[in-house]
Structure 1
Amino acid sequence: MDTNFKLSVRLIERDSRKAVFYKHDGQRFEQTHTVKMNADKEYDIMFTLNPAMGIEKLLLNGEAHKIDRCHDNNDKYEDTRTYVTHYETVSVDVCKRGKRRELLFVLELENGVYMKVSVQCKVYKFGETTHCSWGQQLAGIELDCKIEKCQNYVQILQEKYF
């Protein structure tokens, strides 16, 4: 039987606890949306799965990252599960004008199922606030997903930035 689920991804500045900004870029780049971040800054990235599903491992741009389950009050009342990881942009190069970089997540879900999520980013110099806050605050990226019977990978059916 096929399994359908939703994955929500949120990026939050660790010190201010504020959401990052994003903008719609149309067809100028590989992806239609760009998430804005600062260099030399710390972020929390949260993954919420509905219905609840376990995340066993996380690779972020090819490097293993520790991922912890959040014990959120909502988890008690809904069939969701939330995880968080820490991401630093220390020693990440600032993007030049007209350039973007990929933030690539590879998730290993329970039962050996793999999922790849790519987020297009622009990294601004540390302390830059004008361009980094143009656009809209990113409440989350919602992905409608499907695992077909006898498959070990996730298909992303639809992606929505909000």
Structure 2
Amino acid sequence: MAKQLHIFIAFFRSGILGFGGGPTTIPLVHKEVVKTYGWMTDEEFADVISIGNTLPGPIATKMAGYIGYRIGGWPGLITALFATVVPTVILIILLLSSLKQFHESKFVSGMTNGVIPVVAVMMGVLTYDFLKKSKASLGFKIAALIFIVSFIAIILLNIHPGIVISILLVLAIALPVKGGQES
């Protein structure tokens, strides 16, 4: 029962504090799952994000479902999904009810604009962490090559990120690991 409570708390906190949609909850879920509870390593969490991005649907619920199932089985899956979705539903109902009265207020506009830089910093910190880990595990040249090719494909060629990630997953499976590290 304590495990289910911890799963609920972890995903409820992420759900209630994640402003701006699923991608903004990723750093919050990372803090709860990796740093606070130690249920996963950084590498395992990166794998969850990679696989989750290849599947259709919101990333927050895919991550919650998988991590909840991995930590607590089917009850964990249900608990994590519930904890992820309920705060959003409650907050949307409350905020839309009250913001409707003040939608032209400078305070409401400023509040909304003030959150955007905070989310940008959170995403930047997570990106920096993943770049450091990529450099450590792949080496600078390969990590930089993957970054540049992915950037060109997604930003300049407008290829869907899921397709780029799928191609990288196929290459990771197909290409042999150097140094006899195959398992």
TM-score by length of 2: 0.19
Relative CO higher for 1 or 2, CA cutoff 8 Å, sep ≥ 6?
1
Please identify the structure whose Cα radius of gyration is greater. Answer: 2
- The structure that is strand-richer by fraction is 1
- The structure that is helix-richer by fraction is 2
TM-score by length of 1: 0.20
